[in-house]
A = this chain, B = another copy of it.
Amino acid sequence: MPSQRLALTALALACLLPATAEAAKPYRSVQQILAASADGDWRTPDPANLLYMDLPAGRVIIELAPQFAPRHVANIQTLAAEHFWDSTSIYRVQDNFVVQFGDPEADDAQRAKPLGSAERALPAEFERSSKGLAITALPDHDGWAPRTGFVDGFAVGEDPKAGKAWLAHCYGTLGAGRNNAEDSSIGAELYVVTGQSPRQLDRNITVVGRVLQGMELLSALPRGPAPMGFYADPSQRTPITSIRRASEVPVAERTAIQVLRTDSRTFADTVEARRNRVDDFYKRPAGHIDLCNIPVPVR
């Protein structure tokens, strides 16, 4: 709620939900729901699937999604293990869209950074079978997908008729940049969504993960002045110190992080608290929530 005084006073005071079929329960804010969570509501991501993107300004923590893009994720893990991104840069920052990073010379065969033992070509992984996928579905209508929900903290779209599921483009989504050919991504050039969810990209590009922490280190970068947010002047790029798998970083240098389980009752409660905000500020609860308006809490 954009207001000055709100920051200085208590946010959500308990009050009653409007009458519903269920007995009225006292409204709890997201903060209150999380404060009452059980340890079992949280999961610790597998360090083999966590990337630390270390920038001069701090650390961005990314969780990879091998259950959606196994080939790309394996390639990204190889690239990280071989230090491919060390001393590369964030070379594109397009306002209300994406930041993009990797080797700015990737398209120049003479100057491109060697890919080491990583794959040079991969099939597109735009979607997968929804079979065996435990999707915590949202009841809310979505214009971009027949059904939406969450899997292991990732926002997903689903087409139950086609039996397909895919990762959705929300704030913080990590995708594999490609050229016009569907199979032209290998995970070396990556982008993170920093603007209004570009859901038109869903099923048009291979999504490989999402940022768990440190988005403000990406979203507040100066926008590139050239078309599409590229920097004409390479000195304006943001250097990447390194990208490593957490599992390859000494334990003492790792960042402790847990993610709220999206199949927990606690998460469902936070979603409902956002769908219908019944506090002293909101006068008209929306009765709706959009997939990309639901942050998955981390601690």
Residues of A within 8 A of B (CB): 1-8, 91-93, 95-98, 100, 102, 104, 106-107, 126, 140-144, 170-171, 175, 177-180, 182, 189, 191, 195-205, 215-216, 219-223, 226-228, 230, 274, 277, 280-286, 288-290, 292-293, 295
Contact = CB atoms under 8 A, between A and B. Distances in A.
Contacts of A289: 143, 200
Contacts of A196: 170-171, 196-197, 292-293
22 contacts: A2-B97, A2-B177, A3-B177, A3-B179, A3-B189, A4-B92, A4-B104, A4-B189, A93-B220, A126-B284, A143-B288, A143-B289, A143-B290, A180-B280, A180-B281, A196-B197, A197-B293, A199-B286, A200-B277, A200-B293, A204-B284, A220-B222
A283 B97 CA distance: 19
A95 B215 contact: yes
Nearest to A222: B220
A33 B274 CA distance: 39
Copies of this chain, tallied across the complex: 2
A282 B175 contact: no
B143 A215 contact: no
A126 to B, nearest CB: 8
A233 to B, nearest CB: 15
B215 A4 contact: no
A198 B280 CA distance: 18
Contact of A2 (B4, B100, B216, B288): B100
